[in-house]
Amino acid sequence: MITPVYDYQNLTGLIVPDATDIKAKIGAEYQDSFSESFDVTSPNTPQGLLINAETEARISVADNNAKLANQINPNFAGGVFLDAIMGLMGSSRIPEANSLVQCTLAGIAGTVIPAGSLAKDTNGNFWELINSVTLPGSGTISGIGFSSVEAGPIVVAVNALNIVVVPNATGIAWETVTNIASNTFTGFLVQSDAQARQYRINTLYLQGNSLPNAIIAGLYSTNGVGSLSFVENPTGGILVVSGVTMNAHSIYVCVDGGTDIDIASSLTATKSAGCAYTNGASAINVDYLYGVPISGQTIAVLFDRPDVIQIAVQVQVILNQPIQNYADTIQDVILKYINGNISQLIGLGVGQSVSPFEISAAIGIEYPGIYVSDLEIKNISAAGSFVRTEIDIEKWQIAAIQRSDIFVSLGV
């Protein structure tokens, strides 16, 4: 009988190498070659050392083969294999985007500042002028757009972009730069494998219409949309669904990210004709007048933007392996989890409750050598202390965690 080398997980379709069976098979091969009484279990014998070395070599090959075989499974694929699977349904990873901010520039009147001119913020990030600017007679001009040189979520605080990199160079008398507000747009990196797998699931119904899944898929495929919640009222009367008071025959969506016009366009293109809208659950209501291209009508598209619920995390850990700057490391993992960058964990989105157990799992996935002995969370705006139970987030809310609100200590 041939000992199986791989194990197929029926619930997930994951293929994994079976190390125990591989070692047993090698031991049987040694006994076939020498004698059935040949000792193949003692690890410190010459044959034991050889069996262990051969086992490691075969496991390495089997592990590589299993990883390759799993690339046809969209729930475990990565890299170019995941890109190919997404391409089958006309989808692709959301590409990276640069952050944007508006600044006030000052210098000698008439100075032409060419596009691409650089400024730097107090964190050392470089920003480049998007369009060429000529300073007016006053020598000062406001509302000028800058883009971060590096892509990603580069946040600049108010008045922190204040360094002209090359002042007064070759006919340029540009003297000062400052931003009176934070980012007008926060960029993002290209989707990770974990984010892309979840994005594929969210957009499976992209080519459909009218069905809730099709409406959700259309919104998730909208540029800049990070997460959303959706509920519907199919009845002919007012109905309270998940805490949202809904109009008859209406849908309610609360969307984080994307522009109002793009969201209105997506909803108009995917909802069924005559379906009404509901908003008002959140403190941030949107009533967007959208011109429908086919009918020429102007229709008020209603949806919400989420109220932000700030969460604090208090975590106690035991280090089973040496880790420099363990507090920063754990803070990085939790922030990574929030953005959905931990494999098999969704992270925090609109209507997504906050679980201390899931945050603990994220730390364990990224660093198996860190044992979480205790983890508590707290709604900063609510009365009460830290808890070890899940914090409910409503359909019109989104949880957020700042680095400064993650407190890490060592256990014994």
Q: Answer whether residue 391 shows pLDDT above 80.
A: yes
Residues 281, 252: Cα–Cα separation, whole Å = 9
Q: Answer whether residue 25 shows pLDDT above 50.
A: yes
pLDDT score, position 142 = 95
Q: What is the mean pLDDT of the chain?
A: 89
Q: Answer whether residue 81 shows pLDDT above 80.
A: yes
Number of other CB atoms surrounding residue 353 within 10 Å: 13
Using pLDDT thresholds of 50, 70 and 90, give the confidence band for residue 1: very low
Residue indicated by tokens 């659950």:
281
**Strand 225-233 to strand 250-257: parallel, antiparallel, or no bridges (unpaired)?**
antiparallel
Using pLDDT thresholds of 50, 70 and 90, give the confidence band for residue 228: very high
More confident call, 170 vs 60: 60
Q: Answer whether residue 64 shows pLDDT above 60.
A: yes
pLDDT score, position 268 = 93
Q: Answer whether residue 3 shows pLDDT above 70.
A: no
Chain centre distance of CA 134: 39
pLDDT score, position 2 = 46
DSSP assignment of 276-332 equals: EEE--SSSEEEEEEEE-TTT--EEEEEEEEPEEEEEEEEEEEEESS--TTHHHHHHH
Which phi and psi (to 5°) does residue 79 adopt? 60, -140
pLDDT score, position 401 = 93
**Closest listed residue to residue 57, CA positions, set 106, 19, 107:** 19
More confident call, 268 vs 411: 268
pTM for this entry:
0.70
Q: What percent of the chain has pLDDT over 90?
A: 55
Which phi and psi (to 5°) does residue 193 adopt? -60, -45
Could you read off the pLDDT of 111-167 as tens digits, one per residue? 999 999 999 999 999 999 999 999 999 999 999 999 999 998 898 989 999 999 975
pLDDT score, position 191 = 85
